[in-house]
Protein backbone atom coordinates (compact mmCIF):
# COMPACT_ATOMS: atom_id res chain seq x y z
CA UNK A 1 0.00 0.00 0.00
CA UNK A 2 1.41 3.38 -0.99
CA UNK A 3 0.15 6.37 0.92
CA UNK A 4 0.78 9.90 -0.28
CA UNK A 5 0.17 13.23 1.40
CA UNK A 6 -0.52 16.34 -0.65
CA UNK A 7 0.78 19.82 0.32
CA UNK A 8 -2.45 20.52 2.26
CA UNK A 9 -1.99 17.39 4.37
CA UNK A 10 -4.70 15.28 2.69
CA UNK A 11 -3.77 11.60 2.66
CA UNK A 12 -4.28 9.49 -0.48
CA UNK A 13 -4.12 5.68 -0.54
CA UNK A 14 -4.59 2.88 -3.09
CA UNK A 15 -6.87 1.03 -0.68
CA UNK A 16 -10.59 1.37 -1.39
CA UNK A 17 -12.74 1.06 1.73
CA UNK A 18 -15.79 -1.15 1.27
CA UNK A 19 -18.48 -2.43 3.58
CA UNK A 20 -20.18 -5.82 3.45
CA UNK A 21 -23.84 -5.76 2.44
CA UNK A 22 -25.71 -9.03 3.13
CA UNK A 23 -27.90 -9.91 0.13
CA UNK A 24 -30.09 -12.63 -1.34
CA UNK A 25 -29.61 -13.23 -5.07
CA UNK A 26 -31.98 -15.27 -7.24
CA UNK A 27 -30.82 -16.87 -10.49
CA UNK A 28 -32.84 -19.23 -12.70
CA UNK A 29 -31.64 -22.31 -10.81
CA UNK A 30 -30.28 -21.09 -7.47
CA UNK A 31 -30.66 -18.72 -4.57
CA UNK A 32 -27.43 -17.29 -3.19
CA UNK A 33 -27.15 -15.77 0.26
CA UNK A 34 -23.97 -13.89 1.08
CA UNK A 35 -22.37 -10.45 1.14
CA UNK A 36 -21.32 -8.11 -1.62
CA UNK A 37 -18.94 -5.28 -0.84
CA UNK A 38 -19.72 -1.69 -1.74
CA UNK A 39 -18.11 1.64 -1.04
CA UNK A 40 -19.77 3.37 1.95
CA UNK A 41 -21.20 6.22 -0.16
CA UNK A 42 -22.60 3.85 -2.85
CA UNK A 43 -25.90 2.04 -3.16
CA UNK A 44 -26.52 -1.56 -4.26
CA UNK A 45 -27.62 -0.20 -7.67
CA UNK A 46 -24.28 1.58 -8.06
CA UNK A 47 -22.47 -1.75 -7.70
CA UNK A 48 -24.82 -3.46 -10.17
CA UNK A 49 -24.48 -0.64 -12.70
CA UNK A 50 -20.68 -0.57 -12.80
CA UNK A 51 -18.94 -1.98 -15.89
CA UNK A 52 -17.77 -5.24 -14.27
CA UNK A 53 -19.53 -8.33 -15.63
CA UNK A 54 -19.16 -10.33 -12.42
CA UNK A 55 -20.32 -9.59 -8.89
CA UNK A 56 -18.06 -10.81 -6.07
CA UNK A 57 -19.82 -12.50 -3.16
CA UNK A 58 -18.27 -13.53 0.16
CA UNK A 59 -19.51 -16.03 2.74
CA UNK A 60 -21.90 -17.44 0.15
CA UNK A 61 -24.45 -20.19 0.62
CA UNK A 62 -25.96 -21.66 -2.58
CA UNK A 63 -29.44 -23.20 -2.36
CA UNK A 64 -31.32 -25.02 -5.16
CA UNK A 65 -35.00 -24.56 -6.04
CA UNK A 66 -35.94 -27.32 -3.56
CA UNK A 67 -34.37 -25.23 -0.73
CA UNK A 68 -31.50 -27.74 -0.37
CA UNK A 69 -28.12 -26.25 0.47
CA UNK A 70 -25.74 -27.29 -2.30
CA UNK A 71 -22.58 -25.74 -0.87
CA UNK A 72 -21.06 -22.89 1.09
CA UNK A 73 -17.92 -20.97 0.17
CA UNK A 74 -15.92 -18.00 1.41
CA UNK A 75 -15.78 -16.43 -2.08
CA UNK A 76 -17.52 -16.74 -5.42
CA UNK A 77 -18.47 -14.58 -8.38
CA UNK A 78 -21.79 -14.42 -10.20
CA UNK A 79 -22.33 -13.22 -13.75
CA UNK A 80 -24.62 -10.19 -13.44
CA UNK A 81 -26.53 -11.31 -16.53
CA UNK A 82 -27.70 -14.43 -14.62
CA UNK A 83 -29.31 -12.46 -11.78
CA UNK A 84 -33.11 -12.36 -11.81
CA UNK A 85 -33.43 -10.33 -8.62
CA UNK A 86 -31.28 -9.21 -5.70
CA UNK A 87 -32.20 -7.60 -2.41
CA UNK A 88 -30.45 -6.60 0.80
CA UNK A 89 -31.38 -8.99 3.60
CA UNK A 90 -32.04 -6.10 5.99
CA UNK A 91 -34.99 -5.12 3.80
CA UNK A 92 -36.71 -8.55 3.98
CA UNK A 93 -40.00 -8.44 5.85
CA UNK A 94 -41.91 -11.57 6.80
CA UNK A 95 -45.64 -11.74 6.20
CA 15, CA 2: separation in Å to the nearest integer?
9
Residue of higher predicted confidence among 93 and 67: 67
pTM of the model: 0.78
Q: Which fold has domain 16-86?
A: SH3 type barrels. (2.30.30)
Q: How far apart are CA 21 and CA 41, in angstroms?
A: 13
> Measured between alpha carbons, how far is 12 from 21 in angstroms, rounded to an integer?
25
Q: Residue 45 in 3-state DSSP?
A: helix
Task: Quote the CA–CA distance of 4 and 17 in Å, as a whole number.
Answer: 16
Length of the chain in terms of residues written: 95
Q: What is the pLDDT of residues 77-92, one digit of tens each?
A: 999 999 999 999 988 8
Amino acid sequence: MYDEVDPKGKKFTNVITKIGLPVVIQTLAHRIEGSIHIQPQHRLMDELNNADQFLAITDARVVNLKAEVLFQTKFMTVNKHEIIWILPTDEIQNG
